[in-house]
Structure 1
Amino acid sequence: MIKQQYVTDYIKLYKTGKIKLNKERVMLIKYLEKYVLSDDSLYFNEKQINDCINYGNKWFFPIQPFQKFLIAFIFLYHKNNDRRYYKEFLWLMGRGAGKNGLISVVGNFLISELNGIRNYNGSIIANSEEQAITSIAEIKDVVDRNETLIKAFHATSTFIKSRKTKSILKYRTSNGNTKDGLRDGFVIFDEVHQYPDNRNVKVHISGLGKKPNSRVFYIGSDGYVREGFLDNKKAIAMKVLNGEVKPDLMFPFICKLDDESQIDDPDNWEYANPMLSKPITGYAIDLFEEIKEDYDALLIDPSGREEFVTKRMNLPLDDLERSVAPYEQIKATNRALPDLVGKECIGAVDFASVRDFIGCALTFKDKDTYPSLFHSFAMKPFVDKYYGYSRKDARDLKKVVAPIADWVERGDLEVMDGGTVDIDRIVQWFVDKRDEYLIKKVVIDNYLAMTLKKKFEEAGFEVDTIKRPTAIHHLLSSTVEIGFEHNKFIWGDVPIMRWYTQNTLVKIDRNGYKTYEKKEDIRRKTDGFQAFLYTLYRIDEIEDIDISGALDNFAELDF
C-alpha cells in the first residue's frame, strides 16, 4: 500500500464519522483503496503536494482537508517513468464549495517556479468571458497585494505569467477563435454543465500531447443540459468507480445529495458541499447562512427550488419538463370571484393559429390576489375534426379530450362556423366587457399583430405587442409558481381554463430559463393560459381601485 498523509486523514475523517460523504465519494474511497492505493508502482510527490498546499495557505486561503485530498492526486506518479497517473480530473460540487478558489491556487502553482516546469502553460475555459476570467482576476488580486509575488509573476487582466518558468495561465471562452495550435500543459474547463457536447473541448485539449504530464480539469456544479458533455463525463466517472474501465482514466470527485428528500435537513448539505463539513469556520459559516437563506426563501417562492436543488445541492433534475402546477393547486383557482365591476384590469388575447383556438383574458388586482375573467373561441372545423364536437354521441364517449359542447353550454367558449377566426368578434368581447370594467390595455403577441392592433385601436383600446412571448416566460415563472402555491389566482368555475393550464408544460433550458409550452401540439391547447400569462406581464401597471362610484358621481353632474 502507498500512503499519503492528507489522503489518509481525509479517509479517516469519513470512517470515524466526522464527515458525511455521498454515495459517489464512498465509492471513490473504495475504488482508491482497491485499485490505486494498493498499487506499489505508484508514488505521491510529497514535495509538490506540500509546496502547492503551503502556497495556497500562505497567499490565498486556508486549504481545507478535502482540498488537500484533491491536490494530493494531482501529483500522483508512476515510479518507472515519473509520468503523472491521472490526466483527467472531474470535480463536481454544489455552488459555493470553493472550486474556483482551489483552481486558482492549483493553476497559479502549476505555472510557478515551485512547480519548476518551463513553458507549462495553462488555459481556463468557460462559456462566458465573465466566468472564464474569475480565476485570473483572483490570482491577479493576490499577486498585486504581495511584493514577493509581484517579483515572481507578471499579472494582467487577461493572463498570469511566471517570470522564471515563462509559463502563462490565460483565460479563454469556449467559442473563442484562438484555439488551434495551443501548446498547453494543462486545461481547466469551468462550469462544464453548460457544454452541450465535446466539440469545443476537443479543440482545446488537442495540443496537450505536446507537453509532458499534461492535465485536464473539469470543474463545476451540475446544470440543466441532459445527455450532454457533463452527463457523458459522469457516466465515465461511474464506470471508473465501479471498476469497469482503466483505474487511471479519470479522478472523479462528485459531491451531491443522494436523494432529494435529504434537502430538508441542513446536516445533509455537506453531501453536496464539502466546505460545510464540520467544524465549519470562517468562509464556511457565511456560506452556510447564505444557503440557509436560499432554502428559507423557497417557502415564499417555490420557483427557486429547481435552481436550489440543481446548483446548491448538485442534484440535477432528470425531468426538465413538468406541469405548471399540481392539479390540486390548479383546482384551487375555482373560487368565487370578488366584485370586479368598475375595477382596472389588463386584457390579453392569444392564438397560435387562425384555425383552432383563441384565448381571451382580463386580470385584476384584489388585495393580494389576481382574479381573472376568461372567454375562448374555437373554429368549428377544428373542434369537429379533433374533438367530435358535432357528433350527437360526443358527450357519451368515455374518453373525450375536450368536452367542447359542455364549455359552449356554460358560456365559456364560442364556436365560430367559419374556417378562420373572426377578429371583430374577439374585439367585440372586450368592447362588451368595457361596459363593466376599466381595461387599461390589451396585450397581444406578434402573430397577426398589425391586424389585431388596428382593430383594437379603432375600438379605443391601448395595445401592447409582445414580439417574443417566450422571452417573458422566465420573467413570469416566479409569479406563476407563487400564485399557484399560495392560491393567489381566482378564476371561478371555468373548466376550460383548468384544461388549458393542465395542457401547459414548463420546459427548463440549459441556462435554467423556463418556458411554457404545449404538452401535445394538436389536441392539447394552451391559448387561454398564454393569454393569462400576457395579463400578468403588465399586471403591475394597474391599481387595486374601484372607479365605479366616481363614474356614477360624474354621470350625475349637471353640465
Structure 2
Amino acid sequence: MINNKHVEHYINLYRNGKIKLNKERVMLIEYLERDVLSRTDIYFDNKMIDDCINFGEKWYFPLQDFQKFLIAFIFLFFKKTDRVFYRKFLWMLGRGGGKNGLFSVVAHFLISELHGIPEYNISVVANSEDQAKTSPDEIKKTVRRHSVLQKAFKAWESKTTCIRTQSEIRYRTSNGETKDGLRDGAVGFDECHQYESNKDVRVHISGLGKKKNPREFYFGTDGYVREGFLDKMKEKALKVLRGETRANALFPFICKLDSADEVDDPTMWEKAQPMFCEPRSEYAEELFYTVNEEYLDMADDPSNREEFMTKRMNWPEVDLEKSVAPWEEIWSTGYTTAPNAQEQILRKVPDTLHRTCVGGLDYARIKDFASVGLLFKVNDDYVWKTHSFVRREFIKKVKLNVPIYEWEEQGLLTVVDGPVIDIQHIVDWFVAMREKYGLNTIVGDTFRLDLVKPALEAEGFELEFIRNPRAIHSLLAPKVETAFAKRNIIYGDNPLMRWFTNNVLVKTKPDGNKEYLKKDELRRKTDGFQAFIHALFKADEILIDEEEFFLDEIDF
C-alpha cells in the first residue's frame, strides 16, 4: 500500500461521516483503494505535494481538504521511471467551487523552480479569450502583488515566465487551427463542456510529450452540449471507476447531485459543491448564501432552474419549453439505464424484419444534410431505423464539431461527393430497405417535390406530401412528448439520431402551438428528427397492428 496524509485524511472524512459524497466520488475512493493505492510500483512525491500546497496557501488562499486531495495525485509517479502515473485529470464541480483558483495554484507551481523542469510551458485553453485568461490573469496579478515573487517571475500582459526555468503560462482560444507545433508541458482546458468534439483538444495536446511528465487538466461544470467531448470524458471516467480500462487512463473527480430531488435539501448540495462541507470557510459561507438566494428565487422565476441545476448542481436539465425532451428521455431511445449510470445497458431493439413500415424523408437542404428512415410500430413502441447523407464539401467548410467520420464508420451516415446530395442516394437506400421490410409509403415535405416525386414513383413507391410541415408540429407535439416520457421511442444505439433530436428547438407561438426548429441554424442539424416527424404524421394511419388486422379480416 502507498499512502499520503492528505489522501488518507480525505478518505477518512468520508468513512467517518464528516462529508457527503456523490456516487461518482464514492466509486473514486473504492477504485483508488482497489486499483491504485494497493500498488507497489508507484509512489507519492510527498515533498513536492507539500511544496505545492504550501506554495498555494502562501501566495493564494487556504486550500480545502478536497483540493489537497487532488494535488496529491498530480504528483503520483512510477518508481522505475519517475514518470507521472496520471496524465489526464477531470475536475467537475458546481460553479464557484474554486476550479480555476486551484488550477492557478497548480499551474503557477508547475512552471516554478520548485517543480524544476526547464521550459515546462503551460497553455490554458477555452472557447473565449476572457475565459481562457482567468487563470493566467490570476497568476499575473499574484506575481505583481508580491515583490518576492517578482524576483522569480516576470508577469507580462500575455504570459507569466519563471526566470530560472524559463517556463511560461499563457492563454489560448480553442480554435486549434493555428496551434500545431506547441511544446507544452501541460495544457488546461477550461469549461470543457462547451467542446462538441475532441478536434481542437487533439491539436492542443499534440505537442505534449516533448517535455517530461506531460499533464492534461480538464475542468469546469457540466453544460448543455450532449454527445460532445465532455459526455465522452464522463463515459471514460465511469470505465476507469468500474475497472473496465487501465487504471491510470484518467483521474476523475466528479461532484454532482445523485438525483434532481436532492436540490430541495441544502444539506445535499455539498455533493455538487465540496466547498460546502463543514466547517465552511468564509468564502464558502458567502458562496452558500449566494447559491441559496438563487434557489429561493426559482420559486418566483422557474425559468432559472435549468441554469441552476446544470451549473450549480452539475445536474443538467433542459427547459422543455425549448427542447423536445430531457436528455435522459432522449438517451432512453438506446439505453435502459440513465446517462450517468454505473453500468450502461443497451436497449433491445424489436425484430422488425418483414414488418410493415412507413418511410420518412427530409431532403430540404440538398447542399448539406439529407435524412431517410423507416418507422415501425411494435406494440406501443415506435422503432426508427434511419440513415443520413452529408456532403463532404459542406463538412469541410462548416465546423460541426461532431465525429462525422466516426459515425460513418458505424454505418449511421454516408459522406457523399458532388455539388448536391443526389436524389439517387435516397432512392437507392429506400429500394434496398424494401428488400427487407414492408415498405410502400414514404412521407416528406413538398420543398423538393420536382426532384423527389418522379425519382421515387419510378421505383413504385407511394408518396405522401406534407404541404406545410410546421403545421403538423403542433398536432404531433403532444404525441412526441408522451412517447419520449413513456420511453416508447427506440432509435437503438444511435448517437447521430440523439444529436439530431437534442438540436431541436421547440418554439411556442403566441397561439400556444409548437414548432420544431433548430437551436443553431447552421451547426445544429435536425434532419433525422424532421424525417422521423414526417413518418410519424402518417404512422398510426398506416402501421396497423398486424394481429388486429388479420383478425378483422376473418369472417366468423
Instruction: Provide the TM-score with structure 2 as the length reference.
Output: 0.61
Taking a change above 3 Å as real, the CA distance of residues 103 and 523 of structure 1, as seen in their structure-2 partners, is same
The corresponding residue for 1:110 is 110
The corresponding residue for 1:216 is 216
Q: Structure 2 counterpart of 1:258, which letter?
A: D
Taking a change above 3 Å as real, the CA distance of residues 241 and 323 of structure 1, as seen in their structure-2 partners, is closer
Q: CA contact under 8 A between 1:87 and 1:250: conserved in structure 2?
A: yes
**1:301 Cα deviation after fit:** 1.3
The corresponding residue for 1:322 is 323
Taking a change above 3 Å as real, the CA distance of residues 64 and 315 of structure 1, as seen in their structure-2 partners, is same
Separation in 2 of the partners of 1:305 and 1:314? 12
Describe how 1:340-355 pairs up with structure 2 within 5 A: none
Q: Structure 2 counterpart of 1:34, which letter?
A: R
Taking a change above 3 Å as real, the CA distance of residues 324 and 200 of structure 1, as seen in their structure-2 partners, is closer
The corresponding residue for 1:244 is 244
The corresponding residue for 1:56 is 56
Separation in 1 of the partners of 2:109 and 2:32? 25
Taking a change above 3 Å as real, the CA distance of residues 152 and 258 of structure 1, as seen in their structure-2 partners, is same
Separation in 2 of the partners of 1:97 and 1:216? 20
The corresponding residue for 2:139 is 139
**1:211 Cα deviation after fit:** 1.0
Identical-residue share of aligned pairs (%):
54
Taking a change above 3 Å as real, the CA distance of residues 295 and 110 of structure 1, as seen in their structure-2 partners, is same
- Tell me the alpha carbon deviations over residues 500-538 of structure 1, each in whole angstroms, 9 at most, x when there is no partner: 14xx4597679xx9x9x999866999xxxxxxxxxxxxx
Separation in 2 of the partners of 1:507 and 1:95? 28
Q: CA contact under 8 A between 1:260 and 1:315: conserved in structure 2?
A: yes
Separation in 1 of the partners of 2:535 and 2:40? 66
Q: CA contact under 8 A between 1:100 and 1:134: conserved in structure 2?
A: yes
The corresponding residue for 1:173 is 173
Instruction: Provide the TM-score with structure 1 as the length reference.
Output: 0.60
The number of equivalent residue pairs is: 364
Q: CA contact under 8 A between 1:226 and 1:318: conserved in structure 2?
A: no
Q: CA contact under 8 A between 1:256 and 1:271: conserved in structure 2?
A: yes
Answering whether residue 94 of structure 2 is matched by residue 94 of structure 1, we say: yes
The corresponding residue for 1:312 is 312
Taking a change above 3 Å as real, the CA distance of residues 176 and 244 of structure 1, as seen in their structure-2 partners, is closer
Q: Structure 1 counterpart of 2:84, which letter?
A: R
**1:316 Cα deviation after fit:** 2.1
Q: CA contact under 8 A between 1:111 and 1:122: conserved in structure 2?
A: yes
Separation in 2 of the partners of 1:138 and 1:8? 30
Taking a change above 3 Å as real, the CA distance of residues 305 and 508 of structure 1, as seen in their structure-2 partners, is farther
Larger-gyration structure (1/2): 1
SS of 2:300's equivalent in the other structure is: coil
RMSD: 3.3
**1:42 Cα deviation after fit:** 1.1
Q: Structure 1 counterpart of 2:263, which letter?
A: I
Q: CA contact under 8 A between 1:324 and 1:505: conserved in structure 2?
A: no
- Tell me the alpha carbon deviations over residues 143-197 of structure 1, each in whole angstroms, 9 at most, x when there is no partner: 1110001111101221110011100111100115541111111111111000110
The corresponding residue for 1:264 is 264
**1:47 Cα deviation after fit:** 1.0
The corresponding residue for 1:19 is 19
Separation in 1 of the partners of 2:210 and 2:110? 16
Describe how 1:120-135 pairs up with structure 2 within 5 A: 120-135=120-135
SS of 1:55's equivalent in the other structure is: helix
Describe how 1:158-557 pairs up with structure 2 within 5 A: 158-175=158-175, 177-317=177-317, 322=323, 401=475, 497-498=511-512, 500-501=513-514, 504=515
Taking a change above 3 Å as real, the CA distance of residues 401 and 387 of structure 1, as seen in their structure-2 partners, is farther
Separation in 1 of the partners of 2:113 and 2:63? 20
- Tell me the alpha carbon deviations over residues 20-53 of structure 1, each in whole angstroms, 9 at most, x when there is no partner: 0000000000000001000021110011100100
Separation in 2 of the partners of 1:88 and 1:506? 38
The corresponding residue for 2:457 is none
**1:300 Cα deviation after fit:** 1.3
Separation in 1 of the partners of 2:518 and 2:275? 32
Separation in 2 of the partners of 1:509 and 1:70? 37
**1:319 Cα deviation after fit:** 8.8
Taking a change above 3 Å as real, the CA distance of residues 509 and 88 of structure 1, as seen in their structure-2 partners, is farther
Separation in 1 of the partners of 2:91 and 2:18? 22
The corresponding residue for 2:72 is 72
Separation in 2 of the partners of 1:506 and 1:295? 31
Separation in 2 of the partners of 1:219 and 1:324? 27
Moved over 3 A (4+): 317-325, 385-388, 504-510, 517-525
Q: What runs of 5+ residues in structure 2 fail to find an aligned partner?
A: 327-363, 365-463, 468-473, 477-503, 538-556
Separation in 2 of the partners of 1:209 and 1:305? 43
Q: Structure 2 counterpart of 1:63, which letter?
A: L
SS of 2:124's equivalent in the other structure is: strand
Separation in 1 of the partners of 2:308 and 2:530? 26
The corresponding residue for 2:481 is none
Separation in 1 of the partners of 2:172 and 2:95? 22
Q: Structure 1 counterpart of 2:285, which letter?
A: I
SS of 1:117's equivalent in the other structure is: coil
SS of 2:323's equivalent in the other structure is: strand
Q: CA contact under 8 A between 2:176 and 2:201: conserved in structure 1?
A: no
Q: Structure 2 counterpart of 1:270, which letter?
A: E
Separation in 2 of the partners of 1:228 and 1:277? 31
- Tell me the alpha carbon deviations over residues 203-224 of structure 1, each in whole angstroms, 9 at most, x when there is no partner: 1111111111110001111101
Separation in 1 of the partners of 2:303 and 2:325? 11
**1:322 Cα deviation after fit:** 3.4
**1:104 Cα deviation after fit:** 0.2
Taking a change above 3 Å as real, the CA distance of residues 323 and 17 of structure 1, as seen in their structure-2 partners, is same
**1:279 Cα deviation after fit:** 1.0
Q: Structure 2 counterpart of 1:35, which letter?
A: D
Answering whether residue 161 of structure 2 is matched by residue 153 of structure 1, we say: no
Taking a change above 3 Å as real, the CA distance of residues 265 and 387 of structure 1, as seen in their structure-2 partners, is same
SS of 2:311's equivalent in the other structure is: helix
Separation in 2 of the partners of 1:53 and 1:236? 29
The corresponding residue for 1:34 is 34
**1:302 Cα deviation after fit:** 1.1
Taking a change above 3 Å as real, the CA distance of residues 23 and 508 of structure 1, as seen in their structure-2 partners, is farther
Separation in 2 of the partners of 1:245 and 1:87? 15
Q: What runs of 5+ residues in structure 1 fail to find an aligned partner?
A: 326-352, 354-384, 389-399, 403-472, 481-488, 492-496, 526-559
Taking a change above 3 Å as real, the CA distance of residues 149 and 305 of structure 1, as seen in their structure-2 partners, is same
Q: CA contact under 8 A between 1:153 and 1:163: conserved in structure 2?
A: yes
